[in-house]
Amino acid sequence: MTFLYELLITPFVDFAFMQRALAGGLLLAASACPIGVFLMLRRMSLTGDAMAHAILPGAAAGFLLFGLQIIPMTLGGMAAGVVVALVSGAVARFTIQKEDSSLAAFYLISLALGVMLVSLRGSSVDLLHVLFGTVLALNNDALVLIGLVNLVTVSMLAIFWRALVAECMDPLFFRSVSGLGTPVHFVFLTLVVLNLVGGFQALGTLLSVGLMVLPAAAARFWTVRVLPMCFLAAGFGAISCVAGLLLSYHGSLPSGPSIILSAGTIYLVSIVIGTRGALNMRLRRVRYS
């Protein structure tokens, strides 16, 4: 028992930076993972990756003007992400180009522009900070930001839940019977940007989408219902944060990649032993053959 306590509990009891990292990770998991479920159900998982890169030039502009200050980088990233989401969505809806193509174009432009802006003032260390984050360096301001993102996300999911589910299941039918189709779509993209901006503080622009998508993808191997899938994804995300932080602490490994690799491990295990995973699907085929 003493060994387990020192292994699992002591790091979070003795060190304030581990407590802040854990709080930030759990808040992110509770908001970003349900958004990841809707991304996956909409077959927009790669869209999340594109949006993660889209916030980079705004964050880089904040860094260029004010250095590594949380408020300017956050506001810049949010503005850039919302602009790219709205513009790419408008291009997809009002031109012949599909949304994945427009997002890919904007994401490549954003990535190149963001890296160039960071390079104008910062060093390679600053670039790594922007791209991969520093979850162990979260301060109180970052926790307040992540908490606000969590509050807004949970509130908007509660308000637009039925509309979001309906648009996921049959977007064409939903738009034909309701005028909320386009507004709900843009609300959803805004929530994606908000959670990526929140995740950017902890995991950087390149890894923040991992906490959003991997637990959601794992949850799909366990249930077909949307609400349980969201709760399960949030639980997987929380487990990934705890496991990744402990792995980082005891193994002297980078914290962000440790969290994402923990989520990846849960995903790989779910592929095999989930109730809708490969093993159970194989057993069902054998049973009914």
Question: What local confidence, expressed as pLDDT, does residue 12 receive?
Answer: 87
Which of 114-123, 133-142, 149-158, 173-182 comes out lowest in average pLDDT? 173-182
**Mean pLDDT, rounded, for 93-105:** 70
Amino acid at 127: L
Task: Select from 22, 6, 48 the least CA-distant residue to 242.
Answer: 22
Identify the pLDDT of residue 232: 96
Q: Distance from first CA to last CA of the chain, Å, rounded? A: 48
- Pick the most confident of 72-76, 216-220, 247-251: 216-220
pLDDT score recorded for residue 109: 82
Interatomic CA distance for residues 176 and 171, integer angstroms: 9
pTM above 0.75, yes or no: yes
Whether pLDDT at 99 is above 70 = no
In this predicted structure, the answer to whether residue 54 has a pLDDT above a threshold of 80 is no
Give the sign of the dihedral formed by CA 271, CA 276, CA 280, CA 284.
negative
Please tell me the chain's helix, strand, coil percentages from 3-state DSSP, rounded to the nearest 5. Answer: 85, 0, 15
How many domains are contained in the chain?
Answer: 1
Amino acid making up residue 232? L
**Predicted local confidence at residue 124, as pLDDT:** 62
Q: What pLDDT sits at residue 117?
A: 79
Q: What is the mean pLDDT of the chain?
A: 82
Contacts of range 170-173, beta carbons closer than 8 Å, 24 or more positions apart: 171/42
User: Phi/psi class of residue 204: alpha, beta or left (left: φ > 0; alpha: ψ in -120 to 50)?
Assistant: left
Rounded CA separation 107/104 (Å): 5
Q: Tell me, what DSSP letter sits at residue 137?
A: G
Query: Rg (Cα) of the chain, in Å, rounded?
Result: 19
The two tokens of residue 126 are 């600053």
What length does the chain have? 289
The CA distance from 266 to 270, in Å, is 6
Tokens of 130: 């922007």
Q: How many CB atoms lie within 10 A of CB 74?
A: 22
**Coil/strand/helix, residue 274:** coil
What whole-number percentage of the chain has pLDDT above 70?
87
Q: What is the mean pLDDT of residues 218-242?
A: 94
**Structural domain harbouring 221:** 2-288
Q: At what angle do helices 124-132 and 181-219 cross, to 10 degrees?
A: 100
CA atoms of 243 and 30, how far apart (whole Å): 16
Instruction: Say whether pLDDT at 235 is over 80.
Output: yes
Q: How far apart are CA 134 and CA 155, in angstroms?
A: 27
DSSP string covering 176-228: HH-TTHHHHHHHHHHHHHHHHHHHHHHHHHHHHHHHHHHHHHHHTTT-S-HHH
Residue 192: pLDDT over 90: no
Average pLDDT over residues 153-164: 91
Task: Return the CATH number at 59.
Answer: 1.10.3470.10
